[in-house]
Each structure stands twice: as C-alpha cells, then as structure tokens.
C-alpha cells in the first residue's frame, strides 16, 4: 500500500507437520539439505553453492562464509554458523567441488532443489512449499528459543525490523 508495487503475500514458515510429511518423500540428499537449511537459516542459494573449502571447521561451531551472497554488493560480511546437529548431517557431503551434487555429479541448483521439494510435496499429498520458507522456520525457532536479536544475527539482517517480518 505504500507504492504502486504489487503486494505479495507474506512468506510464512513451513508448517512442521507438512515439513515432516514432505521429508519422508524426498531423496536423502534433498532431505539433508532441507534439514541443514532449517537448522542454519541460510538462503537456498547459499546452501546449493556450499563448498567444503568455504567452511571453517577449526572450532566447535563451524563457520561458512559464502563467496557469493545477497548483500555482497553492500560489502557486508556473511557468516553462517553451523552447529552440531547440522554438522552431523553435513559430514557426509564434505568432498568434491560442491557439497550437494545431483545424480550426475553436478551442483544441485536452487531450481532443482525447489522442484525436488515440490515433487516430495506432491507425493506426500500436501501443498507445495518453497525452500525460502525454511529460513522463516529457522528465524521463528531462534526467536522463540532465544530472542529477536539472536534471529537477526543468525539471518545477518542489519536491522531487526527486517527480522520481524520473519
């Protein structure tokens, strides 16, 4: 309502029951990607482009610094914390050029990741949801367990106003 721009419906987290139903119908690599994204709050593109070389594994909490990210043009650093649960899932993908590869060994693209989720939704008999919604799941959970400021930090928002949308 503030401009002539088309108002889009707000992105909401994936309903936990829908998420669980979908996971049962995904290939293991896609299911693992979903779980990692839900645990870390990273964007789908950051997840799909993840390489072992971009992850610092020297401390208890691993840090992923994407070589390419949304706010790079503003010269903002992006660090993604990878805790023990996500590390446990990610361990088996720390080889090759990209952590997540398709059946032919190519990097799984954001589009292929989304399409695989949609196929899983169809098989599960639930409404489609998109990978970006998992970022909202992470933000909601972090805010509920810790604080708005914690969610802002994890999502790398410069202002908590943006985080409140999540």
Distances, alpha carbon 143 to alpha carbons 84, 137, 156, in Å: 19, 10, 14
Joined tokens for residue 157: 């928002």
How far is it, in rounded angstroms, from Cα 33 to Cα 31? 5
- Supply the pLDDT for residue 74: 57
- Supply the pLDDT for residue 9: 78
- Supply the pLDDT for residue 82: 97
Instruction: List, as one string, the DSSP characters of the chain.
Output: --SSSPPPPPP-PPPHHHHHHHHTTS-HHHHHHHHHHHHH---HHHHHT--GGGEE-SSSSEEE--SS-TTGGGT----EEE-HHHHHHHGGG-SSSSS-B-TTSPBPPHHHHHHHHHHHHHHHT-----THHHHHHHHHHHHHHT-HHHHHHHHT-SSHHHHHH-
Give mean pLDDT, residues 123-150.
Answer: 93
Give mean pLDDT, residues 80-95.
Answer: 96
pLDDT digits (tens, 9 = 90+) for 31-77: 999 999 999 999 999 999 999 999 999 999 999 998 765 555 456 67
Give mean pLDDT, residues 11-34.
Answer: 96
Joined tokens for residue 34: 């979903």
pLDDT digits (tens, 9 = 90+) for 143-164: 899 988 888 888 877 777 777 7
Are 153 and 78 in contact by the 8 Å Cβ rule? The answer is no
């Amino acid at each position: 309502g503030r401009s002539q721009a088309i108002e889009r419906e707000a992105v909401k987290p994936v309903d936990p029951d829908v998420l669980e139903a979908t996971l049962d119908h995904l290939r293991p690599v896609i299911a693992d990607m979903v779980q990692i994204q839900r645990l870390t709050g990273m964007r789908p593109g950051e997840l799909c482009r993840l390489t072992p070389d971009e992850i610092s594994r020297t401390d208890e909490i691993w840090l992923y610094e994407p070589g390419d990210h949304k706010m790079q043009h503003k010269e903002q650093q992006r660090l993604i914390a990878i805790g023990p649960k996500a590390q446990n899932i990610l361990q088996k993908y720390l080889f090759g050029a990209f952590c997540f590869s398709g059946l032919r060994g190519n990097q799984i693209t954001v589009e292929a990741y989304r399409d695989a989720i949609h196929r899983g939704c169809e098989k599960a008999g639930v409404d489609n949801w998109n990978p970006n919604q998992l970022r909202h799941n992470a933000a909601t959970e972090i805010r509920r367990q810790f604080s708005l400021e914690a969610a802002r930090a994890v999502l790398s928002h410069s202002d908590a106003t943006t985080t409140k949308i999540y």
